[in-house]
Structure 1
Amino acid sequence: MPSLFRAGLVGVTGYTGMELARLLASHPSLELVRATSRSEAGRRLADLFPHLEKTAPGDVVVSEPDVADLKAACDVVFLAVPHGTAMDMAGELLDAGARVVDLSADFRLHDKDVYEKWYGLAHRRTDLLGEAVFGLVELYREKVKHARLVANPGCYPTSAILGLTPALESGIAEPDGIVIDSKSGATGAGRGAKVPMLFCEVSDSFRAYGIGTHRHTPEIEQELSKAAGGELTVSFNPHLLPLNRGILSTMYLRLKKPMTTAEVREIYLSRYADERWVRVLPEGRFPETRSVRGTMFCDLGLVSDPRTGRLVVLSAIDNLCRGASGQALANANLMLGLPEDAGLTLAPLAP
């Protein structure tokens, strides 16, 4: 049966592009028809990524990015390119009438001044900031369905926002003093060659980076402020783990009044009762990155600590699938009127 819709992927050579191609290989209604890269134009995808041999995406020949061609050939275009680059191409594609899912940070932040402060460059398409929908389906599903432009959330923000929203929405936790301690696999740093990401630099080690300065901080604060009903500030502290995939975030909040873990868990179960990809674990069980590998699942663990009066929330996701490419595909599904989970009904890879 022929595909119902056609997809374009700009920036196929990075990890997010590679992951999107993998997911599209088994999508029942969306076919990858354009994959672009200036450095690899003219090569088959399977020659770049041998694991795609004998799949539909594997036979796609990489081309130079061309807005007119992408618009004519595709029903939706994914942008897996760096911030700064995406805003111009997204603008051109939208001006041409295309639908876009942007995996960069260029349209995630509503305030151009906040974007320019944290990313260090002027935003050249501020006319689109009000239109872009933040693509976290558990929060904005209905808006995504009608969007032309979806800003795909970052990986760290996905783990933090899903983990903290129920506690803040319900009003059981104080909005100040929130600490988010996150650890990510090395693919979160991208596929470009960098000395700090060499095997011998990452293996058998564990380090922090970007403390107080990581660019995902304002994205987390923007969405959690909405959940809390007022502006808040978080302490976001990322770390690099010596593994390929996965994010584990451990988050600390102060409870407004004493509550048991069971009581908090009921609030989380109620909030995510209809969400197939959020799994609130039984009391006493805690998330592991291996339990979500290669999937859209977000596993949440909860501990109410009566001694400190704190709620500890643990969140595990796959940074490449749930934190980037799989989430982008879920957004595209909604934009095209397809089932949200089309191509994403994946069990975790274990071991």
Structure 2
Amino acid sequence: MTKVGIVGATGYTGAELARLLANHPQVELELLTSRSFVGQQLSDIYANLKGIVDLECESLEAAELAKRVEIVFAALPHGVSMNIVPELLAAGLTVIDLSGDYRYHSQEVYEQWYEQSHQSPELIGKAVYGLPELNKSKIKSSSLVANPGCYPTSAILALAPAVEAGVIDLSSIIVDAKSGVTGAGRGANRVTHFVEANENFRAYKVAEHRHTSEIEMGLETLVNNEVVLSFTPHLVPMKRGILSTIYAQLTREVQTSQLLELYRDFYRDKPFVRLQKEGVLPATKNVTASNFCDLGLKVDQRTGRVVIVSAIDNLGKGASGQAVQNLNLILDCEETLGLEFAGIFP
């Protein structure tokens, strides 16, 4: 059994990690840290974990962590991880970081989109972008895995086969994405307040959301060429889930059935990407609380465009589930271990 810990365990992603790791057959969840809830059991904060994860939240330095665990999940906000992860690595720990601090290959791009100086830029080139469907072999040998963002996961997986095959115009991509409220985190926020969010549907950070650059970066690695796209996120009144509807101009005439076959070949050995049959499109309810990404598409012959639809759970494949998938690769065990369950329906 590999002993693991969660740094920043009391946010939504930290609690979801604890839930998943509690049933993982190859790991022992040894410790949880929190700045705000020291001395409290996680199950006192999240009652669904009563009798499942009753560990007390602690405040520990990196050296103390290294004495008790081998792998740490850093479920911390952006801008906080970059100050803590170097200490964890120096202590000999393997780190799976769920913030955006190490997802980029370029310090300049990170600082432009996150509007802050990077405090440990020497690690940017050493981190591996933790999208298993694209970087499986690199993840296995990495001591620092940068777990992707939720929106980028849904968009990159939806676009990767078409981008790599050159069947879409890289300057024509439009990503129209909708997320549940948990994507904004657990902190108090007027926009996510019940009265503001319930029975409401709004776009936000139009043409300026930081995940735009992460999606572009992920796609550029496939073609070694610049990708510039439009990304518009929306907040929808549901707890969890992301649905991305993506539009792109085709570079040649192709049928829906041909594109679906291209996608099936690309994801043939990728257990968490499920291609829908022709004429069927994904829905968020089918992936709720799972690690699956459901994909469907249709060619619009009239306009010469393809419409691709992607559905994930933002706390599952978009965060904590994917982090466990990365853990499995690091441990060199079955990629699906501890994640072999369907979404919750209804």
Query: TM-score, structure 1 length as denominator?
Result: 0.97
Cα drift, residue 232 of structure 1: 1.1
Long gaps (5+) in structure 1: none
2:215 equivalent to 1:212: no
1:150 partner letter: V
Using the TM superposition, name which of 37-46 and 333-342 deviates more.
333-342
Verify the 8 A CA contact 1:172 1:255 in the aligned structure 2: yes
The separation in 1 between residues aligned to 2:42 and 2:77, in whole angstroms, is 20
Name the SS of the counterpart of 1:259 in structure 2. Answer: coil
1:47 partner letter: D
2:6 equivalent to 1:41: no
Q: Deviations over 1:279-325 (max 9, x none)?
A: 11001101000000111111111100110000110000000010000
Residue in structure 1 matched with residue 5 of structure 2 by the alignment: 8
Match of 1:82 among 68, 77, 80: 77
Residue in structure 2 matched with residue 259 of structure 1 by the alignment: 254
The separation in 2 between residues aligned to 1:254 and 1:147, in whole angstroms, is 36
Verify the 8 A CA contact 2:10 2:42 in the aligned structure 1: no
2:115 partner letter: G
Verify the 8 A CA contact 1:10 1:65 in the aligned structure 2: no
Verify the 8 A CA contact 1:247 1:317 in the aligned structure 2: yes
Residue in structure 2 matched with residue 243 of structure 1 by the alignment: 238
Cα drift, residue 160 of structure 1: 0.2
Long gaps (5+) in structure 2: none
Q: Deviations over 1:12-68 (max 9, x none)?
A: 11100110011012111111111001110111111111111111xx22111013211
Verify the 8 A CA contact 1:272 1:278 in the aligned structure 2: yes
Match of 1:31 among 28, 31, 49: 28
The separation in 2 between residues aligned to 1:174 and 1:99, in whole angstroms, is 39
Cα drift, residue 246 of structure 1: 0.3
Cα drift, residue 229 of structure 1: 3.1
Query: TM-score, structure 2 length as denominator?
Result: 0.99
Task: Trace 1:143-292 onto structure 2 (pairs within 5 A).
Answer: 143-292=138-287
The separation in 1 between residues aligned to 2:63 and 2:221, in whole angstroms, is 38
Task: Trace 1:61-76 onto structure 2 (pairs within 5 A).
Answer: 61-76=56-71
Name the SS of the counterpart of 1:90 in structure 2. Answer: helix
Residue in structure 2 matched with residue 53 of structure 1 by the alignment: 50
Task: Trace 1:300-315 onto structure 2 (pairs within 5 A).
Answer: 300-315=295-310
Using the TM superposition, name which of 58-67 and 77-86 deviates more.
58-67
Residue in structure 2 matched with residue 334 of structure 1 by the alignment: 329
Q: Deviations over 1:254-301 (max 9, x none)?
A: 111111100111100110011111111001101000000111111111
RMSD value, Cα:
0.8
Cα drift, residue 227 of structure 1: 2.0
| Count of residue pairs the alignment pairs up | 346
Cα drift, residue 107 of structure 1: 0.2
Name the SS of the counterpart of 1:139 in structure 2. Answer: helix
